Structure 1
Amino acid sequence: MNLARENHPSRKRFSLNKMVLIIVSSMVLLGMISYITYETVTADVLVIQDGKEKKNITTADNVSELMDELGIDVSKHDDLSVALDSEIKDGMIIEYTKAKKITVYIDGKQQDYYTTEKTVKEFLNDESIKLNEHDEMSVALNKEVTDELEFSIQKGFEVTITDGGEKRTAMVTNQTVGDLLEEQNITLNEHDRVNAELDASVKDHRNIDIVRVTKETVTEEVAIPFQTETQQDSSMLRGNSEVLQLGSDGQKVQTFEVTKENGEVVSRELIEEEIVEESQNRIVAKGTKVPVKLASAEEGGDWESFTSTKYTAFCPSGCTGSTATGVDVSDTIYYNGMRIVAVDPNVIPLYSIVEVKTPNNTFKAIALDTGGSIKGKKIDILVDSRQEASRWGYRTVQVRMIDKN
């Protein structure tokens, strides 16, 4: 009997157990190696995306790979707290904020921006867009920034207003002329003029000129000048004239509409006229009678008939004792040995020497006086007394020229 060939049951069980032990040990070792390897190549990373936290376990080597894993496309405008090529580390915190597009219209000009700021005020500060107290914006400064946000900014500018000649300045935005005047408490009256339409933009009218126009009614009393009326008088010698009626001005009331611009009168329009008193014409009689010229003795002239009267230097009223030529006759009726007579200068010029022939006497006389009733071929002889003058009355005498003037 060959005992060496027999399979001993206890020996077989030992071999099987040993094999199982080896397999289990190998698996445990492999698991431990895998765990150690996993723990070595993975990392826990906290990603804060647009304010929301999310924990991530990643095997990415750098931040760029992690962003790709998360499906995040990082643009140049986005805000990332670490660089894309930064190495991933366990416990790393990454903050990412996606930029939002903002369209701003500044005085009508469009400008696009991208920002990660939360409010409009923070955005303006970040972009160094300065606002002053006169600027106007279509949104509030504390408005939250959202993607595709649009708003406008109207920058204030200076406008010069000349109101009735007085200048002032105002800081305004793109408003209408009418709104500006209302804002400045400027009221336009019915006739005032502005060099721009009230609904026009002040941006196109940096200098606004207001002309203050006033219209008022003025009443004035005006004289109506008298006219001179001439009447022909055939009984008066040509060249002589006499005022028959003194002229007097009339009166009328005129009403004007007076227009002033900035206080200066620019027009006066007569709108009503009323005659209060008619004027009275001045009437002048103008002689047309051809004067009779005496022939002088030297020329062999003939005697001519004159109506004669006599007068004295003294009378109850109106007599002065002097002739019209200024000769004192208060105590004489002679001048250089010649009798003094009053004549019509249009017939016998003053200072002429004549010869007078009466029925009883012939004498030389000098024309030194005139008289209101001595007209034409009349002669008045100076005498000593009123009695003699009265006795003489009216008589016809002969007169001829001896020396004219």
Structure 2
Amino acid sequence: MIRFVFAALLSVAAATAQAEVDIQEVTSPGGINAWLVEDHEIPFLALEIRIEGGASLDLAGKRGAANLMTGLLEEGSGEMDARAFQTAREGLAASFGFDNYDDSFSVSARVLTENRDEALALLRAALIDPTFDDDAVERVRAQVLSIIASDEKNPNRIAGAAFDAAAFGDHPYGSSLNGTAESVAALTRDDLITAHRNVLTRDRVYVGAVGDITAQELGVVLDDLLGDLPQSDAPLPEDVPFGLAGGVTVVPFETPQSVAYFGHQGLKRDDEDFFAAYILNTILGGGSFESRLMTEVREKRGLTYGVYTYLVPKDHAEMVIGSVASGNDRIGEAIAVIRDEWARIASDGVTADELSAAKTYLTGAYPLRFDGNAPIADILVGMQMTGLPPDYVINRNDYVNAVTLDEINRVAGELLRPDDLHFVVVGQPAGVENTN
């Protein structure tokens, strides 16, 4: 019954949209920092924890170690095996999620107030004292190897992997965080223990907390939960330049539809032009059916179901990238249209109407992100990691509205470089050839 109560509380929380939040900056007695939004209407707490580093901390020859380690954190800790751990978590109606990214390791926790201490003690055991027993290691290893094998047959995954490898080479960004079949098969329990020690470190922690807890209570929770993590001794990777020049790389693959990834150098998240670039990307291809690329490639010519672009400011590299899929006989035309539109918006800019529509869309959509404790906690931790101040949630739409037409068109000319666009095409594209 308690699981159904928990689900109902989550639904109530998600139904409450919040345009503004009251953020408290909390420092635990042990010196761990967090941002907190108190909400005592529902007996429920959402915690989002990020630790800087993630898969980028894989040691040479050990690619995939951080990912495999992350997959084992709910597979037993202390005296509990995987089944005992899952049974205990379910009995407390708690939800834990662990994930691994290029630049961070993440923990998502959802707990009821009445079970908070027991649930967070269980979470602590997973974080501090995972068992990595042989049966669990082999079971999760097999799952990872299955994912790797599946990715090797997926045109989208092949395109992304080829693009990253060409752009970043031996840097961690140049290979999948899953590792290869060979590297994952060779990982030992000692490798997982090393990855755990390198990835889960106290001094690189960021925390967002939302729900039924006070600042004083949160401080105690943080020290109990994270205080025994080690200090970091594994260095973060160096910054890496985007290593692809303009051109086309074709990766032959038997499929009736080709997939293309494309992009070039981008800009950092803390660049003073980021807001202008963010709006520009929305107009160019940022997910809306009203974007320039969607209009030109899909609506006018019927070359694809979708074409999208993204700003990707990683911790150690920045990109503007995009993706499109089309029939083998039409992908060449789709690429040409994308290049032409990239050049046109770079040289001619956007219109006042396009800028106004993009601002309306972005400012209207922003409050909808605050649709419950968990999404707000995720926003809080993301703000901290990108160096944004607490009042950003109040002022963000003002930053968007402050971008002028002259500013966005200047940024379009500086950011978008059609001659630097590189396309990686996976399939059997008619009339498209390697230019490397």
Q: TM-score if structure 2 supplies the norm length?
A: 0.16
Greater percentage in strand? 1
Instruction: From the two aligned structures, give the one with the greater helix fraction.
Output: 2
- Larger RCO, structures 1/2 (Cα 8 Å, 6+ apart): 2
